[in-house]
Amino acid sequence: MASVTFDKATRRFPSMDRPAVDSLDLEIEDGEFMVLLGPSGCGKSTCLRMLAGLEDVDSGSILIGVRDVTHLPPRDRNIAMVFQDYALYPHLSAADNIGFALKIARMSRVRARQRVEYAASVLDIEQFLARRPGSLAGGEQQRVATGRVLVRDPRVYLMDEPLSNLDARLRAQTRTQLVRLQNHLGITTVYVTHDQAEAMAVGDRLAVLKDGVLQQVGTPKEVYARPANTFVGGFIGSPAMNLFRLPLSAAGARLGALEVPLPRGTLRAAGAGGAEEIVLGVRPEQFDFLSPQDRESPGLDLVVEAVEDTGAVVYLHTTAWSGEGLARIVVRLPGRPTYGRGATLRVAVRADGVHCFSAVTGQRLPEDAEASAAT
């Protein structure tokens, strides 16, 4: 086992006008399950390939434990990697593909067979061990590729979207098994995905990237509860956080007819440099529902455009007049009430449910306690 350190690691491609990975500083603890998360093209797979030795590091360094591996070939890094494609040997059975590295390492047949069977049981592919890759479905091939890594005893596991070809039910089942296995083995794991729900489910911590730049590192709970900027706030969460660009008022910001009060420190930070707007973020579950007959309490009138019923909860996709035009707002319903398209409802924003970001930089604004600490 070992920690992993990216020290201002940078990778540039001649065809790009910006670095694919730009001065990445990231500490991954020994035994940690770290998820690199972001949209396509953000640099997360390039980070993994740099760590594996499959991409050059143009500047900065990468360490595994205390050993600088920046310029070492892949074979000298003692890592095991699951690629996004399958990379299976077509002439070998699934069992032989899984156990190929063990054969090269001259492990005894009995012990190697035990490891192969254990990995197959974790991934639910015991029935496919005698078959060749050409007779397996894509999801089954991906599980064989994952099993080939699980039987190894490396210092670091690297996984590049290993579950991308599995159906939803099997993906959820397999990711739980992967986490259980990683916790049992305690081997440092770096896992790449663009699926934020998957990242939230498996990661000890998340590293969110955009355009090759690290945006935020934290536990899933920390990143969800206190996103560092509007990108992280809008990317983490399904459905995404509602983001409103609103004019500042003396006491806060006005969303349509609803006045949203804000702490004094937040207002000062939002208006720094003469800015007259603020970006407010409200997650779908951070609305309170008001009675349509309650016209005394300050609220926002919504019109339902679509209903997303997930079974466990219901999300309403609505529109409201924001003062600057129509705003699209997603709200989560409590319980199981039903609304149809065209229905109207009235909501208020919870006092503790507002995330405040600079309209200029997009960065999270300090609250009163944070502003006082900063001064």
Could you list the pLDDT tens digit for every one of the 375 residues in the chain?
699 999 999 999 998 999 999 999 999 999 999 999 999 999 999 999 999 999 999 999 999 999 999 999 998 999 998 877 778 999 999 999 999 989 988 899 999 999 999 889 877 899 999 999 999 987 788 789 888 888 887 899 999 988 877 777 778 877 887 787 788 778 899 999 999 989 999 999 999 999 999 999 999 999 999 999 999 999 999 899 999 999 888 888 888 778 888 988 899 999 887 888 999 999 999 998 888 777 777 888 899 999 998 888 899 999 987 666 788 999 998 777 678 889 998 898 887 889 999 999 999 998 764 544 443
What pLDDT is stored for residue 373 in this prediction?
44
What pLDDT is stored for residue 8 in this prediction?
98
Q: What is the pTM of this model?
A: 0.87
In the chain, the amino acid numbered 351 is: A
The answer to whether the CB of 21 falls within 8 A of the CB of 9 is yes
What pLDDT is stored for residue 374 in this prediction?
44
The answer to whether the CB of 255 falls within 8 A of the CB of 323 is yes
What pLDDT is stored for residue 375 in this prediction?
39
Tell me yes or no: is domain 4-231 CATH 3.90.180.10: no
Beta-strand ranges (E) seen in the chain are 4-11, 21-28, 33-37, 59-64, 67-68, 79-82, 156-160, 188-193, 205-210, 213-218, 242-247, 252-255, 258-261, 277-282, 287-290, 300-309, 314-321, 326-333, 344-349, 354-358
Q: Where are the domains of the chain?
A: 4-231, 239-374
Question: Rounded distance, CA 216 to CA 6, Å?
Answer: 15
Question: Rounded distance, CA 195 to CA 38, Å?
Answer: 8
The answer to whether the CB of 225 falls within 8 A of the CB of 245 is no
4-231 and 239-374: identical CATH topology: no
How many Cβ atoms from other residues are within 10 Å of residue 144's Cβ?
Answer: 26
**Per-position DSSP letters for 118-134, written without gaps between them:** HHHHHHT-GGGTTS-GG
What pLDDT is stored for residue 370 in this prediction?
52
The answer to whether the CB of 277 falls within 8 A of the CB of 245 is yes
Q: Is 100 helix (H, G, I), strand (E, B) or coil?
A: helix
The answer to whether the CB of 281 falls within 8 A of the CB of 355 is yes
* Of residues 53, 45, 101, the one with CA closest to residue 77: 53
Question: Rounded distance, CA 171 to CA 209, Å?
Answer: 23
**Cα 165 from chain centroid (whole Å):** 18
Q: Tell me, which fold does domain 239-374 have in CATH?
A: OB fold (Dihydrolipoamide Acetyltransferase, E2P) (2.40.50)
